[in-house]
């Protein structure tokens, strides 16, 4: 067991935290795992003149990380200096305010270029700023500003968190801009990144630019890809910090099942296992270490998820049943958009509590979960057609992890299931 404050341990922990990073996207190609098809598509788009890309999918699925890989590939294939900027969008933004963020971002990119070249380009960036500042900001004005820069240096712009843009008219203006860039052969690539079930939910008017806009749907990660994050992560730790930690196959497969396709949970759990193993000086980590890691990971999970879980399961009457119903919701069979019907909750709940449960026993729980203040579930349809899904898909793995930690679930012959009562 290492002592707290041990400087050697601190170095190893720092290396571990750079590898397993549940809260930040991957910008290091060596740590980027899987996603081969999506990478090929996005790289194809950034390398082809007149092509742009839209990357969409669930929250926390790895969209920004993919955009960083596209940026890397763009820089490498540009043969010479290039400018690649990421603009994060927010709820206060509209078309104009997004583009007002461009000049300062370009200036900080210039700092990364060779000084003589940066100096040469800075007057171009200034001119594009004047174009943006002097005019009402329309797609044509932005196309002009982008043309100024991209005629001097290859230019890539990632518009991240695009779904957060508050102004409803903006998505059409972005589609118009893509059309102009593409028709006028302006050598600037846009990569639009955001949370959405489909492209329609992200950018309206995209049909008019279908040929110019490569659509990249980010699915949940496959078990193989999640395994790559875990195994590849520990291999990187060995390489970078000389520490060997081997995970028992059952611990590895439990992490993969708990993560449910979300890479950040693979990072969170594998990172917690790694931390415990480093502190305890273990080379092999089994299910006992994973059990400790689970507790740690639940405490380290996103604050918003933890708060929203607590709000959902707490009650004036100490009704412990809320947590079991929520767990059954997390285990319910879902359609391709993640929705389940009340009837889908019945069987898992019956298994969890060990006695027959009918819809009338828990329907009021579903109502509470989908109402103020919890809002943990979102509702579609009415009456018999009512369907529910987790508003934040990252809640489902959290509820699973909690169920395992609290003893409602167990790992039997390699799979997670309700503990028999
Ligand atoms: N291909 C990958 N290989 C390894 N780790 C990944 C990969 N993609 C994503 N991750 C990890 O998953 C987590 C979420 O990634 P990222 O921030 O890119 O997702 P996102 O879809 O942009 O999330 P959000 O919807 O919150 O913006 C991060 O911890 C990141 O390090
Ligand atoms: Mg992101």
Say how many Å lie between the CA of residue 262 and the centre of ligand 1. Answer: 8
Distance 372 CA to ligand 1 centre (A): 30
Instruction: Report the separation in Å between the CA atom of 257 and the middle of ligand 2, taken as the mean of its atom positions.
Output: 23
Query: How far does the centroid of ligand 1 lie from the alpha carbon of residue 77, in Å?
Result: 24
Atom 29, ligand 1: which residue's CA is nearest? Answer: 22
pLDDT of residue 205: 72
Per-residue pLDDT, 421: 67
Report pLDDT for 233: 98
The pLDDT of residue 200 is 83
Does pTM top 0.75 for this prediction? yes
Pocket mutation for ligand 1, best pick of 20, 33, 59, 60 (most atoms within 8 Å of C-beta): 60
Q: Which atom of ligand 1 is nearest to the CA of 61?
A: 21
Ligand 1, residue 267: give the atom nearest the CA. Answer: 29
Residue 304 has a pLDDT of 87
Look at ligand 1, atom 23, and give the residue with the nearest C-alpha.
60
List, run by run, the mean pLDDT of 10-residue segments along the chain (421 residues). Answer: 79 96 94 96 90 94 97 88 94 94 94 89 94 92 96 95 84 90 92 91 78 93 98 97 95 96 96 96 94 93 90 71 94 91 96 93 92 88 91 93 94 86 67
User: Is ligand 1 within 6 A of the CB of residue 21?
Assistant: yes
Distance 64 CA to ligand 2 centre (A): 4
Q: State the pLDDT at residue 204.
A: 76
- Which ligand is closest in space to the CA of residue 394? 1
Contact of 60 with 394, CB cutoff 8 Å: yes
Q: Name which residue sits closest to atom 8 of ligand 1, judged by CA.
A: 62
Domains identified in the chain and CATH numbers: 7-17+222-300 (1.10.8.60), 35-218 (3.40.50.300), 303-418 (1.10.10)
The answer to whether the CB of 59 is under 6 A from ligand 1 is yes
Taking the CA of residue 34 as reference, the ligand 1 atom at the shortest distance is 1
Smallest-distance ligand from the CA of 195: 1
């Amino acid at each position: 067991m290492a002592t707290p404050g041990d400087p050697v341990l601190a170095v190893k922990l720092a290396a571990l935290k750079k590898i397993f990073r549940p809260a930040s996207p991957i910008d290091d190609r060596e740590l980027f795992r899987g996603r081969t098809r999506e990478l090929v598509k996005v790289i194809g788009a950034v390398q082809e003149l007149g092509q742009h890309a839209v990357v969409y999918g669930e929250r926390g699925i790895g969209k920004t990380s993919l955009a960083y890989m596209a940026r890397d590939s763009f820089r490498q294939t540009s043969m010479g200096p290039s400018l690649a900027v990421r603009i994060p969008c927010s709820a206060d933004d509209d078309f104009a305010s997004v583009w007002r963020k461009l000049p300062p971002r370009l200036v900080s990119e210039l700092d990364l270029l060779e000084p003589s070249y940066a100096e040469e380009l800075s007057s171009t960036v200034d001119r594009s700023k004047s174009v943006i500042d002097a005019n009402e900001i329309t797609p044509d004005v932005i196309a002009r500003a982008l043309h100024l820069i991209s005629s001097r240096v290859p230019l890539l712009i990632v518009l991240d968190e695009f779904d957060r843009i508050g102004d409803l008219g903006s998505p059409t203006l972005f589609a118009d801009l893509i059309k102009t860039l593409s028709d006028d052969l302006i050598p600037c690539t846009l990569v639009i990144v955001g949370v959405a079930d489909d492209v329609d939910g992200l950018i309206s008017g995209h049909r008019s630019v279908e040929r110019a806009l490569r659509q990249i749907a980010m699915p949940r990660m496959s078990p193989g890809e999640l395994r790559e994050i875990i195994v590849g992560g520990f291999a990187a730790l060995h390489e970078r910090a000389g520490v060997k930690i081997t995970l028992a196959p059952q611990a590895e497969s439990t992490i993969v099942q708990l993560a449910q396709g979300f890479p950040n949970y693979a990072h969170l759990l594998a990172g917690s296992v790694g931390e415990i193993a480093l502190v305890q000086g273990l080379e092999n980590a089994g299910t006992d270490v994973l059990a400790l890691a689970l507790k740690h990971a639940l405490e380290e999970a996103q604050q918003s998820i933890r708060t929203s879980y607590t709000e959902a399961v707490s009650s004036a009457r100490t009704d412990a049943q809320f947590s079991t119903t929520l767990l059954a919701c997390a285990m319910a069979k879902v359609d391709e958009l993640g929705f389940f019907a009340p009837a889908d909750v019945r069987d898992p709940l019956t298994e969890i509590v060990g006695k027959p449960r009918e819809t009338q026993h828990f329907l009021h729980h579903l109502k509470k979960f989908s109402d103020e203040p919890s809002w943990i579930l979102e509702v579609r349809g009415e009456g018999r057609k009512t369907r529910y899904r987790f508003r934040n898909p990252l809640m489902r793995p959290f509820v699973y992890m909690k169920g395992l930690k609290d003893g409602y679930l167990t790992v039997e012959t390699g799979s997670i299931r309700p503990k028999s009562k």
